[in-house]
Amino acid sequence: MITTLSLRLRIFLFFVLLGLGGSVAVGGALWFGYARALDTTPANGFVFAGILSALALLALTAAIWLLFDENVAKPIEKLAAEMRVRAHAGVVREVDLASARYLGDLAHAAHAVSERLTDSTMDTAQKIALETERLAHEKERLTALLTEIPVAMILVNPRGQIVLYDGQAAEVLAQLHVPRLNAPLTDFFEAKGLNAAVKQLHKTGHEVSFVAEGVDGAQSYSARLKPMEGGGYMMVIDGAQTHMAPEAERPLVYDFDLLTHDAPEAVEETPLAALSYTVFDTETTGLLPHKDEVVQIGAVRVLNGRIVPGEVMDQLVDPGIPIPPSSTKVHQVSDAMVRGQPDIAEAGRRFHRFAKGSVIVAHNAPFDMAFLRRHRNRMGVEWDHPILDTVLLSAVLSGQL
């Protein structure tokens, strides 16, 4: 019956109950105190009445608090949490009306808002999906057209960082360093000659031809720089210097958001979504970093919150020791698979180059990094990258730290 009353009337009756209960408690205490005063002294009667009324009021307050907590506070918190989940996580499920039955029309109103939000979200999502599909088809056609152009192209933003490279360019870049978006072009080509050509390009505003010397000092490439709007430029490398079969895949890797990104701030002051990441994992012969060895390194690069297609590392590693059958059962990597593969020194150097300029991300990162740091002298590198451990991150988000 009480669930049919309005919320305001229920609150009124709640406080009426509190007032009546307090009055009854005080009246009862005075009656018992009076009876005790007749048997002893008036002072004893007053003290007894005061103590009894205080205890009765405390008991009444505790009972009222328990009722309020169970039937008002907890249901409100639960309702708020459910609405927050629907608003931010897109969860579609019925609001629990039974748990909020004493909250009047609040639960029903929240349910109506949730239903309306869900319907609106689904309609918007459907429209976005259709438009995204259309744009994806256009993007595929444009990408297919660009990848058929028989030259190596690299698009560079005003800060000298790579925004786009095609398959032919990836072949050239891979001879000098690990191809990757957002990397300075000077990671691949000797800075003096490149900077001189860029300076001339900005001065004249016309195409500049020059010889790009590789950072290894052993290779050089005939290249042209073409000015682009906004201060960036396109580098075109003579296609005759690439070695791709006509039928080979020519993946086009790009992120045009890099054209307008501001200069990076200090890592600790940069929002997580704006950082460049290398997310990796290792497979090992066991769980003891001081004695076991790495048998595989897998990694992907993440830029602007998206995995970069084509920038993937999947490297088997010869551990130099037998892989226990119990470990093979877990990761499916056998002795035969790692035979003839690079050792940890070479594989570690490759991963170090792959992760250059990014934040390393791993689940339980100290475990994986311990294997790499143990061999840093053999690799000839320092693992000084910023590291994000998703175990600690999840603990922070869940309030455990």
pLDDT tens column, 203-249: 999 999 999 999 988 888 999 999 988 889 999 997 655 554 544 55
CA dist 277 and 386 (Å) reads: 10
CA dist 206 and 233 (Å) reads: 11
Tokens of 255: 């992120």
Percent over 90 (pLDDT), the chain? 43
pLDDT of residue 247: 47
Would you give the DSSP letter of residue 301? E
Give the 3-state secondary structure of residue 216.
Answer: coil
Q: Which residue has the higher pLDDT, 361 or 28?
A: 361
pLDDT of residue 387: 95
Nearest to 231 by CA among 257, 193, 203: 203
What average pLDDT does range 10-24 have in this prediction?
Answer: 80
Q: Which residue has the higher pLDDT, 311 or 71?
A: 311
Query: Which residues are CB-contacts of 189 (< 8 A; sequence separation ≥ 6)?
Result: 176, 212, 213, 214, 215, 221
Query: Which residues are CB-contacts of 284 (< 8 A; sequence separation ≥ 6)?
Result: 292, 293, 294, 295, 319, 327, 371
Give the 3-state secondary structure of residue 362.
Answer: strand
Nearest to 280 by CA among 256, 232, 315: 315
Mean pLDDT of the chain: 84
Domains in the chain: ranges and CATH: 2-117 (no CATH), 151-259 (3.30.450.20), 267-397 (3.30.420.10)
Q: Which of 46-50, 89-93, 105-109, 241-245 has the lowest mean pLDDT?
A: 241-245
pLDDT for residue 45 is more than 50: yes
Name the pLDDT band for 56 (thresholds 50, 70, 90): confident
pLDDT per residue as tens digits for the range 297-349: 999 999 988 899 889 999 999 999 999 999 999 999 999 999 999 999 999 99
Name the pLDDT band for 145 (thresholds 50, 70, 90): low
Would you give the DSSP letter of residue 357? T
Q: In a 10 Å sphere around its CB, with 0-12 CB exposed, 13-18 middle and 19+ buried, how is residue 174 labelled?
A: exposed
What average pLDDT does range 381-399 have in this prediction?
Answer: 87
Mean pLDDT comparison of 3-17, 20-34, 282-296, highest-scoring range: 282-296
Q: Which residue has the higher pLDDT, 3 or 313?
A: 313
Nearest to 179 by CA among 348, 261, 301, 280: 301
Spatial contact of 82 and 74, defined as CB atoms under 8 Å apart: no
pTM: 0.63
**Per-residue CA distances from 332 to 337, 376, 377 (Å):** 9, 27, 29
- Edge-to-edge strands of the sheet including 152-156? 208-213, 220-227, 233-237, 152-156, 162-165, 253-254
pLDDT of residue 246: 47
Q: Which residue has the higher pLDDT, 245 or 112?
A: 112
Q: Which residue has the higher pLDDT, 19 or 138?
A: 19
pLDDT of residue 364: 95
Spatial contact of 91 and 66, defined as CB atoms under 8 Å apart: no
End-to-end CA distance of the chain: 46
Spatial contact of 301 and 385, defined as CB atoms under 8 Å apart: no
pLDDT of residue 324: 96
Nearest to 277 by CA among 306, 310, 297, 309: 306
